[in-house]
Amino acid sequence: MTEPRPAESRGGVSAGATPAAASTPLRSSALGRVGLWMLGQWGARIGMGWVLALLLMAVFAPVVASSHPYVWKVDGRVGSPWVEHLTAADVVLLGSFLVAVVLVLWRRASGAWRLQAWLWITAAITATAAARALPVLWAQRELGQLPLVFLMTAAMLLSLLFVLVVVPWWSSASVRAWSGTAAVGLVLCGAFWAADVRPPANIVYSAYREATAAEKVEWQLLPPLAYSPSDYQRDRMSAEGVDPRVLPPSLRHPFGTDESGADVLSRMIHASRIALAIGLIATGIAVLIGIVVGGLMGYFAGWVDLLGMRIVEVFSAIPVIFLLIMIVAFYGRNLYLMMVIIGITGWVGYATFIRAEFLKLRKMDFVQAAHACGTPLRSVLFRHMLPNGVTPVLVLASFGIAQAILIESTLSFLGLGLVEEPSWGQLLNQSRSAAGQWGLTIFPGLAIFLTVFAYNLVGEALRDALDPRVASSDDS
């Protein structure tokens, strides 16, 4: 417990936090102070760095690893197969990242406001993507599989709601700022709708290599890793006489290939999307349910609390892994169902935390004062009490994300996870039967380990930052 503090004082001071604090009076809330403190922690820096790297990997997966050339000139025509094969999810992720970069660079508005604007725009684009994709999927009768876009929309909207409730900046934004955000969002959504992003249904990855071999291509610009995650290199046997399956790491395939001949590194990069999504969505659902149930329990106390605690006990007795295996047996392999199940069984911890906080907060003077001002109950609960009691839940949530990633990996390893889409656990599962391909064991295993470790580091640093004893010794 005492170890990180000297490192913090050295790292934090040299990182330039102090000059900034000295020149401008720290006009920050409690959460802002926690954030500053965490930036000075090595553990938290490493953890957040890795999560950020994962995030970048998830956003830029098609840029880094794809069989489609960015641009090429074939038969005298210049074209971009890469752009043509972008999916709606790719465009949404890249677009919202671009908006984020623009907002980070645009320093005239407050940070809180920019975050909110970004959330609004992202949610709008995602909703547009979902609306655009829905009729197509409906026509293809694929709705039963709960498409990714649709679920991402739901998750985004839920997290948006969550953030709007948790982080309260309503009053600080002016009408002009709001209308500006709305205009930018509308333009982006309109452009997205008009572009009608829809990749071809059947993709023949070998066509690019065959065209190159036949010298039809005058010039081309390939991504750094020229293999898509589902590029099984079916042409390689006939072209080179090499079986592309379970090849050990080489210069061409840095992490080797898996048992269907796909590049492991490419699959791992694309799998970071699922690793992030399962953690965030499952935990997001759990936190939302936990906050609502725990908040009501803590605020009303009495028989509501009694009833709520019984429900909590029932839910905490459910063995999640067995339930998931059973669900897979009945409904087939479905990642999104998995997220929902992890979410609706995992809320008990958050509920008890929020309940304890609310039991304490409901007697506080500022809650009484809010009542005496005529504030409606929902506003008292979620605008006045929640921001004061949500911090322990954030700590628990970072551990919960790690937990959800582990559960998904476990299921995939048992062969109950995804089939077509890449996931780390599924790669690890293949390594059991792939003798000699050591890349299939080490790298996915390392990725799972590092990610879980990173989230745990962040959670631990958050916990330390919120510990009043650490905070007070930090002040002195």
Which positions touch other proteins (CB under 8 A)? 25, 27-31, 168, 171-172, 174-175, 302, 364-366, 368-377, 383-384, 387-388
Closest contact distance (angstroms) between CB of 20 and other proteins is: 17
d(CA 285, CA 344): 7
Nearer to other proteins, 387 or 445 (CB): 387
Say if CB 233 and CB 247 are below 8 A apart. Answer: no
Nearer to other proteins, 3 or 475 (CB): 475
> Taking the alpha carbons of 94, 100, 105, 106 in that order, is the dihedral positive or negative?
positive
Closest contact distance (angstroms) between CB of 374 and other proteins is: 4
Nearer to other proteins, 178 or 438 (CB): 178
* Tokens describing residue 91: 């465009």
d(CA 350, CA 166): 15
Task: Decide: residue 411, CB within 10 A, 0-12 exposed, 13-18 middle, 19+ buried.
Answer: buried
Closest contact distance (angstroms) between CB of 311 and other proteins is: 21
Nearer to other proteins, 28 or 140 (CB): 28
DSSP 373: T
Task: Decide: residue 277, CB within 10 A, 0-12 exposed, 13-18 middle, 19+ buried.
Answer: buried
Nearer to other proteins, 320 or 359 (CB): 359
**Residues linked to residue 65 through DSSP beta bridges, in sequence order:** 225
d(CA 233, CA 253): 12
Closest contact distance (angstroms) between CB of 466 and other proteins is: 14
Closest contact distance (angstroms) between CB of 163 and other proteins is: 14
Closest contact distance (angstroms) between CB of 363 and other proteins is: 10
d(CA 353, CA 396): 9
Closest contact distance (angstroms) between CB of 117 and other proteins is: 16
Write the DSSP assignment of 128-150 as a string of letters.
HHHHHHHHHHHHTT-GGG--HHH
Nearer to other proteins, 219 or 366 (CB): 366
Write the DSSP assignment of 196-249 as a string of letters.
T----SS--THHHHHHHHTT-EEEEE--SB---TT---TTHHHHHS---TTPPP
Closest CA to 85 of 207, 224, 181, 1: 207
Nearer to other proteins, 49 or 376 (CB): 376
Q: Does residue 303 sit in helix, strand or coil?
A: helix
d(CA 446, CA 195): 39
Nearer to other proteins, 168 or 180 (CB): 168
Closest contact distance (angstroms) between CB of 367 and other proteins is: 8
Nearer to other proteins, 11 or 168 (CB): 168
Closest contact distance (angstroms) between CB of 292 and other proteins is: 20
